[in-house]
Structure 1
């Protein structure tokens, strides 16, 4: 309990420092406290550039945080929460202490220089790293170690958003994934402590000010219910676009073969161009969000802001920026809800009610659709606004958004990042201490079988597959970068089909290579087993951290041998 209070206090102080860093760097890069509220104004530090300074701000910011992240803590890149979830689920809560410092600086630089991301992901990672450090210093058991990590996350959310209850439920619903009396008690202590410190620094005021709302007609529940379904789909759409843009950025930068530390600066030119066209996307954008809840904007502009935020956040993360996706999901939901409210009010003026109410419900429902954390969504929206009268329609819309999201995808905006790395947090055998599953793939993988070149013709590939014991071989390009795998079945089917050589060029291995779900050397075996079972052949390629080089080969036999081998001791930091 004492350590929970200490971690909460540390998270509260960390949130103060983090918000100060954001304000400082925003002032340095834009000359304003929040540039999104002063669209198209000049930077008083460099007035001769006019509004075009926003094109250079992300570039300069990228030149500062790019090398910082690449050199000291690569896990500080991105939105942070998935890394904490992974550490809790598979690493006993161990988080590198450097993450707290690097994440704070990198995220503050990203947001201050125009990155369209939020501050919840960074402060969760910072608080969790603090909790992990305290647990490691006093040598707590793994169970208590994980609990202190959750306390740090709860304290960070509570202090940053003045939402102590939301901090507790965020930690239990998303970080721990379980509810228990001990976890509730510890996270409440940390959250309350952090909130007291946060309120001393920032004041005890609601995050948003909304006009009074009253539910006058039962039919309005139907309107809110439909909004919940739409918001759930939009939240999942935001998730998909986020990772599509990240994949596109990975592909382009891979083609350019530039150093990873330079990627944020190079991509900053694209982000700067977007900010020049739509300066409301600069930074977190809370002033724009509040204006939308007041019904200030027209429907067309609200939809433009919605699409712009999805693209700006996705691009910020894709180029290597550091920041959260919680605030962007609230922003997107507010734009959606406000547009829906205006349209409903125009169509049903005597029934619809206040536009701000729809914006608030849209915020909670969109976050629930993206993160699939309904309890957190209900509690945090209530605490952020202090508006209790809307709690019933809010709950209805959030539940429907969560169900819609679940129908559309198994993963959330947080877990999809891990799934794409071959990590399934819900897979059997991934819990710490499991007989099979807690080992790293690197500890059980076999040497890579003789690979095929992408230019190899099918007849030659068939001979190599016939001599191989795997029935599947990896395919590499001329520079030994991984392209996929080729199975004996695929080659057999291709050779059995008649080919008009005059009309079609000769088919090569590259044309038939398949891409099974990627598994990296630092993936837990329990997660990799799912990919192995569903793989097209009898083995699965293991990739390095850059996902372009082949470092090993995982087979069913090597997985079974892990049952009879002692589990290697895990390093303190992975």
Structure 2
């Protein structure tokens, strides 16, 4: 089993690398070359590519008869690990991974990390089915593959292990945890060979003070409330689109693409994954409060619309984007009251908003620390993330992954 976990981790890393390369090629060839400061008529790809990408996403899902159903791909992985791994539709990954790459490459305001979890989980389920292993062993492979996906996506094997604990309920310690750890380490090693650069590079932060801890509490409360609101909004939009019977299924992502394109003409930063904008914020680039507010509302709004209209992608990257911008806004206000570095709160906001959306605070802390190779602010990250998690649980009761399980579609009247 240990050898299988190591092979699965390495194979997942290769799959994630290929997925990310595909996203990059589509984005740079489609709209990434456009000069955002150029004349409006030269920025036409920012409108056309999201619309065309959305229509193509809808047509592919329609032609392949992919079911139109509520929820998120990681929800299927959770059910496989906790309930019945044999029922996991691993054969769909051959369609879902390319469609997710097309979604992100054409400008959907989502992220590549959750598809990485699906790639790993599906490879694990496929391997277990082909090997004829027992139910428990297949569940072990699915959990191992999912952890390998996070490890490969973020260069964060320890955070990937905690992700399986917080999201999939893998017990610590347990025999399954050994396979999860082995797969995560193999994925990290393979990805370091193929793509050694860190996801972000965050400068060293100022020494933490009592004031920063107190303001971190407030930021955690705000992030938790925003995360809870975002979860409800995403699924409200998804249920609305599912119930929109007068519009054919294949056209629905195109409608989301229209909104993406119209906003992207003026704010191209909110299109796609957005790592460059996140890096700029944590590098200390000075943006006015009005621009930061506009970026925050536009990014999170388009995240909910992209997900709800049928684009495929994940929640980590937009959570990091929204959290960094929200934290920078918060830091500007704090800077007026007490001396400090707004970048510190941008970093804290990334972890706090992710914790408020996916309800995995320890994973959020270690991910932000690992992707930046910066552990100086871990106490503040932990404080804000735990508070954001607590507030979000109180307000919405379920994460972005478990919401469709707690609130099934029949509980929502369709328009």
Task: Check the 8 A contact 2:213/2:380 in 1, yes or no.
Answer: yes
Given candidates 212, 215, 221, the residue that maps to 2:207 is 215
Give the number of the structure whose residues are more often helix, by fraction.
2
User: Hey, what does 1:39 align to over in structure 2?
Assistant: 36
Offset, 1:77: 8.7
User: Hey, what does 1:58 align to over in structure 2?
Assistant: 50
Offset, 1:49: 5.1
Distance 1:383 1:93, change over 3 A: farther
User: Hey, what does 1:388 align to over in structure 2?
Assistant: 375
User: Hey, what does 2:153 align to over in structure 1?
Assistant: 160
What are the equivalent positions in structure 2 for 1:160-239 lying under 5 Å apart? 160-203=153-196, 205-239=197-231
Secondary structure, aligned partner of 2:375? coil
* Counterpart Cα distance in 2 of 1:299 and 1:40: 20
User: Hey, what does 2:247 align to over in structure 1?
Assistant: 258
Deviations 1:47-92 (A, max 9, x none): x951122221122112322222234333799742112112333333
* Counterpart Cα distance in 2 of 1:413 and 1:319: 16
Offset, 1:277: 2.9
* Counterpart Cα distance in 2 of 1:388 and 1:268: 38
Task: Check the 8 A contact 1:151/1:190 in 2, yes or no.
Answer: yes
Establish whether residue 517 from structure 1 lines up as the match of residue 408 from structure 2. no
* Counterpart Cα distance in 1 of 2:167 and 2:26: 30
Given candidates 308, 323, 326, the residue that maps to 2:298 is 308
Secondary structure, aligned partner of 1:175? coil
Establish whether residue 141 from structure 1 lines up as the match of residue 138 from structure 2. no
Task: Check the 8 A contact 2:80/2:142 in 1, yes or no.
Answer: no
* Counterpart Cα distance in 1 of 2:211 and 2:90: 53
Deviations 1:355-381 (A, max 9, x none): 111111111011111111111111111
User: Hey, what does 2:404 align to over in structure 1?
Assistant: 417
Instruction: State the superposition RMSD in angstroms.
Output: 2.2
Distance 1:263 1:248, change over 3 A: same
User: Hey, what does 1:358 align to over in structure 2?
Assistant: 345
Offset, 1:126: 1.1
From the CA coordinates, give the structure whose radius of gyration is larger.
1
* Counterpart Cα distance in 2 of 1:108 and 1:21: 6
Task: Check the 8 A contact 2:208/2:377 in 1, yes or no.
Answer: no
Offset, 1:517: 2.2
User: Hey, what does 2:23 align to over in structure 1?
Assistant: 22
Gaps of 5+ in 1: 43-47, 423-515, 520-546, 549-574
Secondary structure, aligned partner of 2:85? coil
* Counterpart Cα distance in 2 of 1:356 and 1:341: 7
* Counterpart Cα distance in 2 of 1:214 and 1:4: 40
* Counterpart Cα distance in 2 of 1:156 and 1:127: 5
Give the number of the structure with larger relative contact order, counting CA–CA contacts within 8 Å between residues 6 or more apart.
2
Offset, 1:39: 3.1
Distance 1:177 1:258, change over 3 A: same
Establish whether residue 278 from structure 1 lines up as the match of residue 267 from structure 2. yes
Task: Check the 8 A contact 1:65/1:105 in 2, yes or no.
Answer: no
Deviations 1:510-557 (A, max 9, x none): xxxxxx7269xxxxxxxxxxxxxxxxxxxxxxxxxxx89xxxxxxxxx
User: Hey, what does 1:247 align to over in structure 2?
Assistant: 239
TM-score, normalisation: structure 1: 0.68
TM-score, normalisation: structure 2: 0.93
Task: Check the 8 A contact 1:22/1:109 in 2, yes or no.
Answer: yes
Aligned residues: 412
Offset, 1:31: 4.7
Distance 1:40 1:117, change over 3 A: farther
